[in-house]
Amino acid sequence: MMQIIIGIGVVLVLVILFMIFRIGNLVGLVEEVKTKVGSGNKINAFLFMAFMVLSLLLFFWYSFAHFKKYTLPVASEHGKITDDLFWITMGICVVAFTIIFIAMFWFTYKYQYQEGRKAEFVADNHKLEILWTLVPAVVMALLIFKGLRVWNDITGPASKDAVVIELVGQQWTWTARYPGPKDEELGKIDFRLIDPTNEFGLDLSDKNSFDDFKSQTLHLPVDKEVLLKIRAKDVLHSVFLPHFRVKMDAVPGMQTVFKFIPKKTTQQMRDETGNPNFNYEMACTEICGKGHFSMRFPVVVDDDETYMKWKNSQESWLKQNPDYLKFVPANLREFAMIKSGIAPDNGSQQQGVVQSVTTIK
Amino acid sequence: MATIDIHVHTEVHHHDDHEEHDHHGNFWTSYIFCQDHKVIAKQFLITGMAWALIGGVLSVIFRLQLGFPDAKLEWLRPLLGGWLTSDGKIDPEFYLALVTMHGTIMVFFVLTAGLSGTFSNFLIPLQVGARDMASGFMNMLSYWFFFLSSAVMFTSLFISTGPAGGGWTVYPPLSALPQAVQGSGLGMTLWLVSMALFIVSTLLGGINYITTIINMRTQGMSFTRLPLTIWAFFFTAIIGLLSFPVLFGAALLLIFDRSFGTSFYLSDIYIAGEALPHVGGSPILFQHLFWFLGHPEVYIVLLPALGITSEIIATNSRKPIFGYKAMVGSMLFITILSFVVWAHHMFVTGMNPFLGSIFTLLTLIIAVPSAVKIFNYVTTLWKGNIKFTSAMMFSIGLVSFFLTGGITGLFLGNSAVDIQLHDTYFVVAHFHLVMGSASFFGMIAGIYHWFPKMFGRMMDERLGSIHFWMTFVGVYLVFFPMHYIGIAGFPRRYYSWTNFETFSSFADLNMLVSIAAIVTLSAQFIFLFNFFYSIFRGRLASANPWDSNTIEWTTPRHPKHGNWPGDIPTVYRWPYDYSKPGAKEDYIPQTIPYSETPESNLPHENELIKLEMGNTGAIVIDEKKH
């Protein structure tokens, strides 16, 4: 019943609007005979002016009043530089935008139609054309120059002692793999070795893989160069660390890298923002299916000491999955057990563990 | 020069032999399988409008999710059925399908076919002075391929696994693996088939546009006398002809990967519990191929709109367009550069960073001709005598969007700054303003301006004003706030942001955007009413309602197939002699010879009078030969 009444109401409103339109139309016909350009011209000219003033006021007010709300604190070294470049570009753009915006709507208002006036026949002006070709060109050149220098620094090779961490994207989670503290080298992987347990596809014939460990949180040391090695298992994903101004796609079949230096620990950030619950986060920014929006990966930045403590306390992947010792070539098995921490690093107990493994087999 | 004129003339004369084709065809040959460029243009227009409505509705549906994440959308169940979850929310996978189809529909079906298809077809023969397109039959095929393509894409909206859902860029492996997202099953197959047909349609159209512009200009219509609309359509067609085949290749390889087990784009994939046999392919390859079309596509969409508005702004400012040569030059420069900037979409895809440097350089160069265009538009308004017709207001709106959206390109084109902004709402704001809204406004402006020529009646200007102000303010309210959301780092194509503390703010702005989107869409119904009502009941149009110079206004109110009842008019001057000092009226149509306007001729134009006489002589000689 209610729906029918609403329906009738809507129809009535539409009919009334239509009637108003018809009457306006007929009146317009009579007016139109007298003057070719009606009063609507003045109203529209005024509206353009009003639009210009109001929209600029709104733009500047919101941009200043809510500055904190839409800017993210920056926590990496290169992030400060790219932010600077962003705000330099912003300065240039806002000045240029405001001038052109005002000029355009001011002309629109000022040169509205007037009976009997004739527009000025100005077809071109080479000096002006050259001027407004050269000025943007020079400004652009400066921006490019600065931008490319920064870009080269960011994308240049990482230093040899950078902390290497592997990030793996899959539908719809991230995992991190750290090289174990024993060798600081990531072991080889092969996508054909992936199974529900061996989610990295660790190649256990490679010695370096024995002490690699998995983490469900990205732990980073502060003030040290970090080199992210990024890959994906199924479709494209993209690593996005908003506070560190880091973004790089994860591509199946191709490793990508991004290096950066975190400058603030999670705790420092909490103090600085006054938000005791502040946490760094990592997101996915490449469409990857239904769970794209839920690929959150927690990030923690620690001071060096805490970071090392955390790293040394992690169990290697092989220790967590001792069944996989069977994939280690026989001659390396003992070494694997020591390196992965399955067997404590002393001669007496080793023998026993080897035996137990062989009996399992 | 003279020889060229004579040559052109024989061409014209040839057409004169069978002047106006008086069609006694039936309904089918005059309205459905018609070869008249004007009817084909209207077919493109109506189909494009239908698509725009669908694309707009899709966007409002996903804006409901983003603006009102807690709302129960049960009332949409009759429309969406199983695509609503049991608690009345949009299914996350369907959300992606909505985003994908909105993009595909708007970019290809509305702003490529609806815009170029309509106005290139309608205006090229009328403004260069030709009876019809070079090949009417190919032109008809172009529409019907588009129609087929539309039918296939439309069907994909209704299949049980849903339409393609991998984003309008259809990056593999997501688009190649049905295990990855439902839409990559049948939906993606239909998408690819539809796009293949669409490309055929575009190529058939493009060849025709180029041929007609080069070969079928009327006597006196030298390239330097072409209206800027025609220049824009010319460049657009060239871009399309060179870049669409690359998308065809990309799609073909994707089809091979999907159906025949090849590995062009796939490698090292473990999905749904199994390792796939593909090795050695590269998803980056697809991105290069896609954006080799994808970026020029931006200009395929934008240039016609810029051409249309150049014409409209000059006409309604009652002034020549400022810097005609600079306008043509910058369009030519944009055309060339549009082919060498594609990889700026790929700065952070793992592409070689050195390549990133090169593309930063080339991308920021393209800002120069774009800036020149804006300055020329603004200077055209300066000291004009501006009439705010609906078409004019939408054109001013275009310049405003082109400025607002274009300037943020300086951020995104700079690879170092793009790291943070890539795939955030900043990008969404940028391209919706500079390419989406600007081109859309160009299209609407074109409809208001040439409606009298299309249907012989006028659209209602008052409704036009209301439509303009609601849409203009609406579009700004939709897309401007997205800059802030983007600077805050919010990623695109997110169903919801509540999983992240970092992205937990801006519920207010998102709601504002959604409300503005709904208002903007509703305003389009005013336009639709105005359009269809005016076709039948609008005020009768006079022959040249806008006092315009271009030659389409010399045709009768309802031009028949063949356009001009008698000879095709000869052109004597450029199309922008508005408010010429000394002239009685504030416009001098292109068909008026300099010999008739001694009072307003510039010194060098007086010398052209002799040539005009020469041309008449050529006609005599020519007729004797026949």
Q: Find, in chain A, the residue whose alpha carbon is nearest to that of B393.
A: A44
Q: Find, in chain A, the residue whose alpha carbon is nearest to that of B583.
A: A118
Q: Which domain-ending residue is among A104, A136, A156?
A: A156
Interface contact flag, B368 A140, Cβ < 8 Å:
yes
In contact, A227 and A259? CB cutoff 8 Å: yes
Q: For residues A213 and A95, state if they share a domain.
A: no
Interface contact flag, B384 A93, Cβ < 8 Å:
no
CATH number at residue A279: 2.60.40.420
Q: Does the CB of A112 have a partner CB in chain B at under 8 Å?
A: yes
| A357 part of a folded domain | no
| B419 part of a folded domain | yes
Question: Which among B382, B388, B415 has CB closest to A45?
Answer: B388
| A266 part of a folded domain | yes
Q: B371 contacts in A (CB within 8 Å)?
A: 132-133, 136
Interface contact flag, A201 B270, Cβ < 8 Å:
yes
Total domains, chain B: 2
Q: For residues B478 and B612, state if they share a domain.
A: no
Interface contact flag, A119 B318, Cβ < 8 Å:
yes
B415 vs chain A: nearest CA distance in angstroms?
Answer: 7
Q: Find, in chain B, the residue whose alpha carbon is nearest to that of A156.
A: B353
At A135-161, the pLDDT tens digits run 999 999 999 999 999 999 999 999 999
Percent of all residues in chain A with a pLDDT value above 90, rounded to a whole number: 75
Q: For residues A286 and A176, state if they share a domain.
A: yes
* Domain that includes residue A310, residue range: 163-343
A5 vs chain B: nearest CA distance in angstroms?
Answer: 17
Over chain B (626 residues), what is each successive 10-residue block's mean pLDDT? 38 43 66 90 97 96 94 89 89 95 96 95 96 94 96 95 94 94 94 96 96 95 95 97 96 95 95 93 96 94 96 95 94 95 94 93 92 94 94 97 95 95 97 96 97 95 94 97 96 94 92 96 95 93 93 93 92 94 91 91 86 56 40
What whole-number distance in Å separates Cα of residue B88 and Cα of residue B77? 8
| B360 part of a folded domain | yes
Q: For residues B516 and B608, state if they share a domain.
A: no
Q: B351 contacts in A (CB within 8 Å)?
A: none
Q: For residues B194 and B280, state if they share a domain.
A: yes
| B12 part of a folded domain | no
CB within 8 Å of B68: residues ≥ 6 apart:
B511, B514
| A186 part of a folded domain | yes
* Domain that includes residue B583, residue range: 566-625
Q: Compute the 3-state secondary structure of chain B and give helix, strand, coil in percent, each to the nearest 5.
A: 65, 0, 30
Q: Find, in chain B, the residue whose alpha carbon is nearest to that of A115.
A: B385
Instruction: Tell me what pLDDT residue B23 has.
Output: 52
Handedness of CA A345, A351, A352, A353 (dihedral sign): positive
| A235 part of a folded domain | yes
Q: What is the DSSP string of A295-316?
A: --EEEEEE-HHHHHHHHHHPPP
Mean pLDDT of A103-113: 95
Q: A63 contacts in B (CB within 8 Å)?
A: 484
Total domains, chain A: 2
Q: For residues A258 and A152, state if they share a domain.
A: no
Q: For residues B445 and B594, state if they share a domain.
A: no
Q: Does the CB of B493 have a partner CB in chain A at under 8 Å?
A: yes
Q: For residues A182 and A143, state if they share a domain.
A: no
What whole-number distance in Å separates Cα of residue B58 and Cα of residue B64? 10
Q: What is the DSSP letter of B106?
A: I
| B544 part of a folded domain | no
| A352 part of a folded domain | no
One-letter amino acid identity for A175? T
Q: For residues B301 and B379, state if they share a domain.
A: yes
Q: For residues A144 and A87, state if they share a domain.
A: yes
Q: Does the CB of B366 have a partner CB in chain A at under 8 Å?
A: no
Give SS3 for B53. helix
Q: B104 contacts in A (CB within 8 Å)?
A: none
CB within 8 Å of A231: residues ≥ 6 apart:
A166, A167, A168, A169, A250, A251, A252, A254, A255, A256
Question: Which among B350, B461, B578 has CB closest to A254?
Answer: B350
Q: Which domain-ending residue is among B537, B554, B575?
A: B537
Q: Does the CB of B605 have a partner CB in chain A at under 8 Å?
A: no
Extract the tokens encoding A51: 């639009």
Q: A93 contacts in B (CB within 8 Å)?
A: 407-408, 410-411
Q: For residues A309 and A204, state if they share a domain.
A: yes
Q: Find, in chain A, the residue whose alpha carbon is nearest to that of B534.
A: A25
> Is the pLDDT reported for residue A20 higher than 90?
no
Q: For residues A71 and A182, state if they share a domain.
A: no
What are phi and psi for residue B279, nearest 5 degrees? Answer: -140, 140
> From the CA atom positions of chain B, what is the Rg in Å?
25
Q: Does the CB of A91 have a partner CB in chain B at under 8 Å?
A: no
Interface contact flag, A25 B460, Cβ < 8 Å:
yes
Q: Does the CB of A13 have a partner CB in chain B at under 8 Å?
A: no
Higher pLDDT, B5 or A190: A190
- Angle A91-A95-A99 from CA coordinates, rounded to 5°: 170
Interface contact flag, A93 B177, Cβ < 8 Å:
no
Instruction: Tell me what pLDDT residue A115 has.
Output: 87
Q: For residues B480 and B599, state if they share a domain.
A: no
Q: For residues B50 and B178, state if they share a domain.
A: yes
| B24 part of a folded domain | no
Question: Which among B375, B420, B487 has CB closest to A132?
Answer: B375
Q: Does the CB of B323 have a partner CB in chain A at under 8 Å?
A: yes
Q: For residues B572 and B485, state if they share a domain.
A: no
Q: For residues B294 and B211, state if they share a domain.
A: yes
Q: Does the CB of B625 have a partner CB in chain A at under 8 Å?
A: no
| B118 part of a folded domain | yes
Q: Does the CB of B582 have a partner CB in chain A at under 8 Å?
A: no
Q: Which domain-ending residue is among B537, B558, B583?
A: B537
Extract the tokens encoding A112: 């509205």
Q: For residues A282 and A303, state if they share a domain.
A: yes
Window 163-192 of B: residues touching A by CB (8 A cutoff) are: 165-167, 171, 173-174, 177, 180-181
| B347 part of a folded domain | yes
| Mutant choice from A51, A74, A293 vs B, greatest count of B C-beta within 10 A | A293
Question: Which among A86, A101, A119 has CB closest to B411?
Answer: A86
Confidence of residue A359 (pLDDT cuts 50, 70, 90): very low
| Mutant choice from A39, A44, A256 vs B, greatest count of B C-beta within 10 A | A44
Q: For residues A202 and A143, state if they share a domain.
A: no
